[in-house]
Structure 1
Amino acid sequence: MSTPIYITDLSCCEPKSALSPEARKGCWSVWDYETHEHRGVRLGGKMLYANAQVEPPPVTLRLGASGWHAVYLGFYYADFPNSHTVRVRLTGDPTFDRVQAETTSPKDGNHTEQNVHYGLLAETLWRTADLTGQDLVISRPSRRGLLAQHGYTSLAYVKLTPLSDVDLAQHRKLMPSPRTKRLIAVFDGAFGGGWWPESREDLYEDIDPLADTDVEVLLCTMARFDVTYYPSKVGEMRSLKRAFYHPEYAAQAQVLAEMQKKGLDTLRVYIDRAHGRGLKFYATNRPAGPHPPPFHLTGEGPLYRKRPEFRCVTQDGQAVPHLSLAFPEVRRRLIDVLREQAEAGADGVSLMFNRSHPWVLFEEPAWTAFAEKHGADRAKLDPTDEAWCRHKASYLTALARELREVMDEVGRRQVRRIGIGHMVMGTAWSRLYFGIDAEAWMREGLVDFLIVHPYNYHERPFPGGDESVERAVRELRPAADETGVKVYADVYPRRMPGYVYLDRARALYAAGADGLAYWDIETRVNRKSEWFTSSRLGHVDLLNDWPLDLRGHFDRIPLKSVAGMVTDRAYSGHTNG
């Protein structure tokens, strides 16, 4: 690979009026910095730094480069890596790209090579691009967003590595094609208040990182039962009145109200943008109940509020905050919300059966029907009894049948096929306990695909053992081969280096997965060195001969000083705090 070019003096950004050596409202702070020698390179220059309080405008850095380059960005996280976000774009890009810190925790595998403190700069591979005639625009997220209010933004340097013809040929091996479109992105957040989108273009930032990758389908949560994230005639759009105590949902409500005033239907904006970027859009519903107090009002949709008799009931007769799919009226409301989304132009619909259980318990009519058939005593019934679990599953299967019928009806009217794909949990027994008969759905033609999600719940009423996604995929493989239904494996943990993603992909495809899924895609795409690899893992034929060396996609550079202050940990931090 060619010798890299470093741009370390960011005081040359424009406009100059947006830069200041001091903390000043409306300006980026410009700080001197110096690094120790690392891999034969010693850096010194001027970095940009800002937070929500100073609220600086976007600035432009002249790159002065032409031809194809790998573009790396160097950041100073200080002691706040989990609060660090920068928005960047090349001048030829239609939208900004969010870049966040790539730290990990023990539950992610504790990849300490990615953990950064105030004595280090973090360098991440952002992208490859033809830089001819292009410059870099640097910005902060909206200060109104929850993730930005207490967040920080920096940029210490830009590293441009020219790509030779040989380098470029290797990168082009990983360009997407129809045969590599094996990835599903799962966006459970429905934009949220984290970034506080204020325009159509801001909403595009959720979609655009998926373009030109191996992602074929975006599953996007547009409702939690009948609480919707768009103006709905069937459900109730999230409102501040019912979300006041929950910071994220309150922000969502305000964003939705502002979007509606601007004439923007978030559902249709997402659908149109996904189609414009070559993606299939599946409207997803998380059939959830309210959170515990003080957040209980946030999940109380109109059906939950008006019909308390439709709630799930425990074995000892106590109502719990979940609507029961044993009631036809509950199933009908859920399907009506999905019908509305399909009629708006969604390519398909999806239900999240990997979260927010239970969906059926001991309420009428579920218990009466079971007791009459089996002569059971509710007080003495073992809740893991297989007959009881299969009885609960019959109601979810009824929902799946009714949904398929309605989507076929919409498809006939619109002269297209509406796809259906659900997320399911764990292995066969854990699924059955919660009422998910995935094999029946497959054999009856009720789904086009299933996504297997790791089982990770507090309730484990059955013995432990191998609850891996690999095992779950192997269990579903016979039914998939018989029916042609595709099985996708959700890749976990959510935060791990590119080489670990590659190892997980090899294992999951070897277990029989047709493709991979990424839960919480909205956090994964912002971890750029990881996304550079994970977004290309539909290239099954290259997994054992990956054309790129993943070393160096993320690096840590030891700092000597920032803003004239030594950053040696023996003399900083706790010694002077």
Structure 2
Amino acid sequence: MTRPAADFFADNGLSQPPIYLTDLDRCTPAGALSREPRRHSWRTLPYRTSGFNGVMLLAGPETAAPAVTYHLNATGWHAVSIGVYPFWSEPEGRQLELQLKLTGPGPFTVLSHPRVPFAGHSEWLHEMFWDVADLTGRDLAIAQPTARSSPGDRPGSFLGQPARIAYVKLTPLSAAEVRAVSTDRADSETRRLFAHQDAHGPHSAWRLTSASEIQREVEPYRDTDFSRLYWECGSGDLMNYFTQIGRIPAYDGLEDFGRQADRFNAESWRILRDRGIDPLRVAADHARDVGIEFHASYRVAGFHYPPPLDHFNHGDAVYNRRPEWRGVDREGRRTPRFAYTYPEVRAYVVSLLREVAQYPVDGVCMFYNRRLPLVEYEPQLIEGFRTTHGVDPRTLDSLDPAWLHYRAGVLTQFHRELRIAMDEETQRQHRSRRLQISAVVASTEAENLRLGVDPRAWVDEGLVDTLIPYSSAPNFNSSVDAWADPRAIDYFLDVARGSNTVVAPNMMPRQVSPEHLRRRASGLYRAGVQHLFFWDCAGGSGRANYADMWSALRRLGHRDEIEAWRAAGEPELASPRHEMRSLGDWNLDYQTPG
């Protein structure tokens, strides 16, 4: 099979031969390098492949290696890739992680490579495509993402993942290719992708303590096909910004957590608060710099969590102060969640979202894909149905259509109130564009109604601007191959037809091959979809990790490129690999088990 000429997966499609920079022991400062393993230093280790020799840099999970600079000595535009030495053994770590940036302003980006399958005792370098940039006067900064785990400076005080970089590959661009890149980056027609960031994972993984570390989570979307970032602003009354109404996840006074990651998250927020760094504002401002819209996203059902995640409930939670706002089940028992049946609950949530609208956001998004229901058998709902239909709904089947449609009116009313509030904020702030409302919903009309959600009513009344079906699978199953049958999106396209509502199906599961990603996108585009959504698109364990899938995903709005690839027989999409022949003084030709 031949690859179509128009395909720019990674640095494919470029005409000039690459330059391999393998002498990473030239990094400065020299004092940050060591031939032997040493904390706060990069270990230098010579290696040989069948094509070239070099010296790689390595750091272990407790090394806390500092930032070093490799002098590129390059001018003009180049594609930049790196070669990494991944591992397969679980005790070594979760994945490989590195930070890169070009010298000058701007944050690092995190590149992560998952563990590789056991390769029969052969050792390979894997290439990761990073960026295309003008390298004139710029060098490459390399760092290891780490988090402080405990006070002091001893083994275990800092934690991270292994970091191993073997080479830097520069591929020069011709003058025509530079013009093509510039034209491509200016093409808004391909910017049809929406990313989600839960705003919890980075704090939990890396214990963020600075504005630049928050910006790092937005930076990967620069010069890609992404046009929106859906950043979580809160869950219930636990908000991811300096709220005056709810709580922030600092969990003051709580010292013991069910997971180390949750302690990292709390300590991160305590430090950021003390430094006056508001993560939501930093992320929103950097999204402007990157050139994408910023939509604040909210978990509508996140007012109370079960053990062992009940640290989320710590502090002066509104759930504890307002027991009368809790839902009621079919048997008349109070349930451990707030019910939007009560006008007071809806008003409280709208007040939080008004507060969010004071930030430089383009819209708000309601997440109806976590911990529902929001409406059950509250007394006023029962009486209202009895008045309208002459029957107690508790005597009907729980899936009775009349009852489901009546009950769904509660969240429709919530969206009416939310629309009024957002329109008022649009006018009060003299915004040039209406604040948008998005919603993540379930797989089918029937499943949505069962959860009290009526997308058709929202669209008919102009209450939602973007509909995001989480999956084509029921129960928000994240592991199922979503949209394998593109006809599953037809209901949502039919609901939105003739309106201004955008439909953006979420692509699941999170980690798939680049070929799989292109096939699913092609099927949905052919079905009539114009936009795609990606849950958990953050770096690290998310999708924006600079592995092969990200090379396909960052350009997944290029429909013509995808269709040309399919017409060419769907050739494999994979970055180069190089088998090592020696590592240190070890001849890998003689490697045997054990």
Question: Take 1:115 and 1:325, find their aligned partners in 2: how far apart are those partners?
Answer: 53
Q: 2:132 aligns with which of 115, 120, 128?
A: 128
Matched to 1:365, the amino acid is Q
Asked if 1:141 is matched to 2:141, the reply is: no
Unaligned runs of 5+ in 2: 1-14, 151-155
**After superposition, where does 1:503-518 map in structure 2 within 5 Å?**
503-518=519-534
Question: Take 1:265 and 1:305, find their aligned partners in 2: how far apart are those partners?
Answer: 26
Show the counterpart of 1:555.
Answer: 576
Structure 1 window deviating more from structure 2 (517-526 vs 239-248): it is: 239-248
Show the counterpart of 1:482.
Answer: 498
Question: Take 1:427 and 1:569, find their aligned partners in 2: how far apart are those partners?
Answer: 57
Matched to 2:516, the amino acid is V
Question: Take 1:254 and 1:456, find their aligned partners in 2: how far apart are those partners?
Answer: 37
Asked if 1:502 is matched to 2:511, the reply is: no
Asked if 1:418 is matched to 2:422, the reply is: no
Matched to 2:582, the amino acid is S
Cα offset for 1:569?
9.7
Deviations 1:99-157 (A, max 9, x none): 001469xxxxxxx7x99987322211112222222221100113237998251111011
1:218 and 1:556, CA in 2 relative to 1: closer, same or farther beyond 3 A?
A: same
Q: 2:264 aligns with which of 236, 251, 274?
A: 251
Residue aligned with 1:285, SS: strand
**After superposition, where does 1:257-406 map in structure 2 within 5 Å?**
257-287=270-300, 288-299=302-313, 302-376=317-391, 380-406=395-421
1:314 and 1:563, CA in 2 relative to 1: closer, same or farther beyond 3 A?
A: farther
1:569 and 1:124, CA in 2 relative to 1: closer, same or farther beyond 3 A?
A: farther
**After superposition, where does 1:208-227 map in structure 2 within 5 Å?**
208-227=219-238
Matched to 2:363, the amino acid is G
Cα offset for 1:507?
1.0
Cα offset for 1:51?
2.6
1:555 and 1:366, CA in 2 relative to 1: closer, same or farther beyond 3 A?
A: farther
Deviations 1:467-508 (A, max 9, x none): 768344311223322212111121222222333322222111
**After superposition, where does 1:24-63 map in structure 2 within 5 Å?**
24-35=38-49, 37=50, 42-63=51-72
TM-score, structure 2 length as denominator? 0.86
Question: Take 2:491 and 2:457, find their aligned partners in 1: how far apart are those partners?
Answer: 13
Show the counterpart of 1:525.
Answer: 544
Deviations 1:308-341 (A, max 9, x none): 2322333334433321111111111111111101
Is contact 1:221–1:283 with CA below 8 Å preserved after alignment?
yes
Matched to 1:91, the amino acid is T
1:478 and 1:117, CA in 2 relative to 1: closer, same or farther beyond 3 A?
A: farther
Is contact 1:426–1:469 with CA below 8 Å preserved after alignment?
no
Structure 1 window deviating more from structure 2 (76-85 vs 138-147): it is: 138-147
Structure 1 window deviating more from structure 2 (464-473 vs 474-483): it is: 464-473
Structure 1 window deviating more from structure 2 (327-336 vs 252-261): it is: 252-261
Question: Take 1:60 and 1:116, find their aligned partners in 2: how far apart are those partners?
Answer: 35
Matched to 2:257, the amino acid is Y
Asked if 1:432 is matched to 2:429, the reply is: no
Residue aligned with 1:261, SS: helix
Is contact 1:18–1:57 with CA below 8 Å preserved after alignment?
yes
Residue aligned with 1:298, SS: helix
Is contact 1:224–1:299 with CA below 8 Å preserved after alignment?
no
Matched to 2:564, the amino acid is D
Cα offset for 1:14?
1.0
Question: Take 1:469 and 1:192, find their aligned partners in 2: how far apart are those partners?
Answer: 37
Show the counterpart of 2:5.
Answer: none
Q: 1:22 aligns with which of 18, 36, 44?
A: 36
Structure 1 window deviating more from structure 2 (329-338 vs 253-262): it is: 253-262
Percent identity reads: 32
Is contact 1:102–1:115 with CA below 8 Å preserved after alignment?
no
Show the counterpart of 1:96.
Answer: 108
Is contact 1:350–1:420 with CA below 8 Å preserved after alignment?
yes
1:223 and 1:520, CA in 2 relative to 1: closer, same or farther beyond 3 A?
A: same
Show the counterpart of 1:107.
Answer: none
Asked if 1:163 is matched to 2:173, the reply is: yes
1:409 and 1:472, CA in 2 relative to 1: closer, same or farther beyond 3 A?
A: farther
Asked if 1:445 is matched to 2:445, the reply is: no
Asked if 1:84 is matched to 2:96, the reply is: yes
Unaligned runs of 5+ in 1: 105-111
Is contact 2:472–2:482 with CA below 8 Å preserved after alignment?
no
Show the counterpart of 2:3.
Answer: none
Structure 1 window deviating more from structure 2 (9-18 vs 363-372): it is: 363-372
Question: Take 2:485 and 2:367, find their aligned partners in 1: how far apart are those partners?
Answer: 16
1:465 and 1:565, CA in 2 relative to 1: closer, same or farther beyond 3 A?
A: closer
Question: Take 2:340 and 2:253, find their aligned partners in 1: how far apart are those partners?
Answer: 24
1:467 and 1:208, CA in 2 relative to 1: closer, same or farther beyond 3 A?
A: closer
1:533 and 1:458, CA in 2 relative to 1: closer, same or farther beyond 3 A?
A: closer
Residue aligned with 2:141, SS: strand
How many residues align? The count is 557
Cα offset for 1:441?
0.6
1:25 and 1:459, CA in 2 relative to 1: closer, same or farther beyond 3 A?
A: closer
Residue aligned with 2:296, SS: strand
Matched to 2:493, the amino acid is R
Question: Take 2:482 and 2:129, find their aligned partners in 1: how far apart are those partners?
Answer: 36
Question: Take 2:121 and 2:169, find their aligned partners in 1: how far apart are those partners?
Answer: 21
Cα offset for 1:285?
0.5
1:555 and 1:166, CA in 2 relative to 1: closer, same or farther beyond 3 A?
A: same
Asked if 1:231 is matched to 2:235, the reply is: no
Matched to 1:558, the amino acid is E
Question: Take 2:53 and 2:500, find their aligned partners in 1: how far apart are those partners?
Answer: 58
1:273 and 1:359, CA in 2 relative to 1: closer, same or farther beyond 3 A?
A: same
Is contact 1:25–1:56 with CA below 8 Å preserved after alignment?
yes
Is contact 1:289–1:356 with CA below 8 Å preserved after alignment?
no
1:53 and 1:22, CA in 2 relative to 1: closer, same or farther beyond 3 A?
A: same
Cα offset for 1:565?
3.5
Question: Take 2:115 and 2:229, find their aligned partners in 1: how far apart are those partners?
Answer: 25
1:441 and 1:493, CA in 2 relative to 1: closer, same or farther beyond 3 A?
A: same
1:418 and 1:564, CA in 2 relative to 1: closer, same or farther beyond 3 A?
A: same
Structure 1 window deviating more from structure 2 (354-363 vs 373-382): it is: 373-382
Is contact 1:469–1:489 with CA below 8 Å preserved after alignment?
no
Cα offset for 1:50?
0.8
Question: Take 1:282 and 1:162, find their aligned partners in 2: how far apart are those partners?
Answer: 37
Is contact 2:64–2:159 with CA below 8 Å preserved after alignment?
no
Question: Take 1:341 and 1:569, find their aligned partners in 2: how far apart are those partners?
Answer: 61
Question: Take 1:136 and 1:15, find their aligned partners in 2: how far apart are those partners?
Answer: 13
Question: Take 2:322 and 2:371, find their aligned partners in 1: how far apart are those partners?
Answer: 19
Question: Take 2:589 and 2:338, find their aligned partners in 1: how far apart are those partners?
Answer: 56
Question: Take 1:252 and 1:449, find their aligned partners in 2: how far apart are those partners?
Answer: 30
Question: Take 1:468 and 1:122, find their aligned partners in 2: how far apart are those partners?
Answer: 30
Deviations 1:162-203 (A, max 9, x none): 233455566556424233332211112344321222211111
Question: Take 2:476 and 2:208, find their aligned partners in 1: how far apart are those partners?
Answer: 37
